[in-house]
Amino acid sequence: MSTRVVIDPITRIEGHLRVELETQGETIARAWSETTQFRGIETIVQDRDPRDAWVFVQRICGVCTSVHAIASVVAVEHAIGSHPPTQARLIRDIVLASQEVQDHVIHFYHLHALDWVHVPSAATADPAAAVAFARAIGSTWRGNTLERMTEVRDTVRQLLDSGQLSIFTGGYWDHPDYRLPPEANLMAVAHYLDALEFQRSMIRIHTVFGGKNPHPNFLVGGMACTIDPDRSESINQVQIDQITDWVDQTRQFVRDCYLPDAIAIMGAYRDYFDIGAAQPNYLAVGLAGATFGGDPNTARTTTAHTAVKPGVLLDGDLSTVHPFDPTKIAEYIASAWYAYEDGDDVGLPPAQGETTPRYTGPKPPFDWLADSERYTWCKAPRYDGRPIQVGPVARVLLAYAQGHARMTELVDDAARQLGITVGQLNSTAGRTLARAIEAMVSAETLAEVTFPELVANIAQGDLDVFDNSRWEPKTWPATAEGYSFVEVARGNLSHWVTIEDGKVARYQAVVPTTWLAGGRDVGGRQGPYEESLAGDGLHPLRDPARPLEPLRTIHSFDPCMSCAVHVLDLGDARPPVVGP
């Protein structure tokens, strides 16, 4: 007899993702990924000046602000034929790299680690043993001191004695599948707190180049900031020195703390390299931060990330990289609350995409959505008809398949330590590990390539950050289409714009979480979230009242639902529901 289980909400900050499950015994038999918020940004930018679109679309999310802004300005530049100067491109690359590493750190420590780390256990740990544990796993983080571990242990004790766990409230702390010893838990909680300080510091890079964060300032044709080492109101030597320090701190934190923590913690949950696999199809246009205006195969856009070419891996075959063809992308709405003019069974390419909401679900509050064919606000993108994975695991596997030296070194080293195969990165633990590996490569590229190139160009007198040749609408064609591909923290992001008579006539965003969180398509094929839970019918769920196992798997994708869906306020708040 099957049991119905609802997990709602499923993330710590993205409260509008809901998962419905049917279980058989202690395993998941069927799964539905449900996004219960409608966004509508695509319709808000219609009839607006395309040079302003980035201001609106970066409000899609409170975390992924910069990446949507850059995707938007690059798509508009592709449409109107603008070519930003090298320095502007480098600044965008630096913004993307710093956002990506910060995002991965936040995901691991603040959104996902508590699925694996038992915070109350840290109160019973021996601080000296916690220091010894950190050293044993290769962590050389400067916070691994007896004084710091003692301080954190005492803080956890004070929280427990107070009866309120503050930011750690709500964990399934009585679940039996927390496996780390108290000393490892203490180390991880200490690093959790250190990561809060780190991510706050490194994102200051955005405030230098964009004036503020979140929602920095950007500009079609370049960047809104100016560079002049001799002027206080521009990016000058003082700020270059500050950024140099923040970039060094970034590389240090990932190398000394994040990567060894991820390998050690995933090592304690090694069976999760065999749990949570989704369809073994992967798409990426390069390493994290790769940015293209138009088709990446022919784009004239320059990018710092040339070592890995755009490509697709299919059916788990890591030996053959298939060429990436943007025309093979289509979005389906068979399970989503939308309507297409030519019928709901067709798949529309994003350039011809439509965002017409048609809610047919039950009036909230509701108990169960999956009784209907339509159960989500998230469309279902497909590549050549296939569900596909995007994100760090796709980029890491694509780079590995193309022989990227540093990525191969890091993957092989982690696989050797953990006793896994590269193919096992398609799993709950694999996606978590892939982020840490990717963060290392990104931090090194930022410190050794991108930022030094910007500084060297400044030293040679290159201060140009704006192409004004296509700023005036009179220089644009009457009708123009453009699109962009950007590899961001959660995966492949594309924005598609049609401009008519100087105004936005059509706009679509196909975001990483849409690729991953989308529901069943017209052929009944599950989206990656659904596949990862119910693909083989073996995913564990021992206690429906404490659904820790599916939380681990869905959190491993780093869901971002604000990005994924197309604002719904029914004036009826309903408390979270967990359990059958």
Query: What is the domain-level CATH number for residue 318?
Result: 1.10.645.10
Nearest alpha-carbon partner for 103 in 260, 254, 219, 282: 254
Q: What pLDDT was estimated at residue 563? A: 59
Q: How many domains does the chain have?
A: 1
Mean pLDDT by runs of 10 across the 580 residues of the chain is 90 82 96 88 93 92 86 97 96 95 95 96 98 98 98 97 89 96 98 93 90 91 92 89 95 98 98 98 96 89 77 97 98 97 96 93 92 96 98 98 97 98 98 98 96 96 97 97 96 98 96 96 97 96 96 94 52 43
> What does each C-alpha distance from 441 to 178, 186, 245, 251, 263 come to in angstroms?
30, 27, 18, 9, 15
Q: What pLDDT was estimated at residue 577? A: 45
User: Which residues are annotated binding-site positions for Ni(2+)?
Assistant: 61, 64, 560
For residue 183, tell me if it sits in a domain: yes
Q: What pLDDT was estimated at residue 569? A: 44
Angle between helices 86-105 and 65-80 (to 10 degrees): 150
Q: What pLDDT was estimated at residue 579? A: 37
Query: Is the backbone of residue 558 left (phi > 0), alpha (psi -120 to 50) or beta?
Result: left
Handedness of CA 351, 356, 360, 362 (dihedral sign): positive
For residue 477, tell me if it sits in a domain: yes
User: Which residues are annotated binding-site positions for Mg(2+)?
Assistant: 42, 566
Q: Which domain holds residue 192?
A: 2-564
Q: What pLDDT was estimated at residue 570? A: 46
For residue 175, tell me if it sits in a domain: yes
For residue 530, tell me if it sits in a domain: yes
> What are the tens digits of pLDDT across the range 426-461?
999 999 999 999 999 999 999 999 999 999 999 999
Nearest alpha-carbon partner for 355 in 76, 41, 35: 41
For residue 577, tell me if it sits in a domain: no
For residue 79, tell me if it sits in a domain: yes
User: Which residues are annotated binding-site positions for Fe cation?
Assistant: 64, 563
For residue 452, tell me if it sits in a domain: yes
For residue 101, tell me if it sits in a domain: yes
User: Which residues are annotated binding-site positions?
Assistant: 42, 61, 64, 560, 563, 566
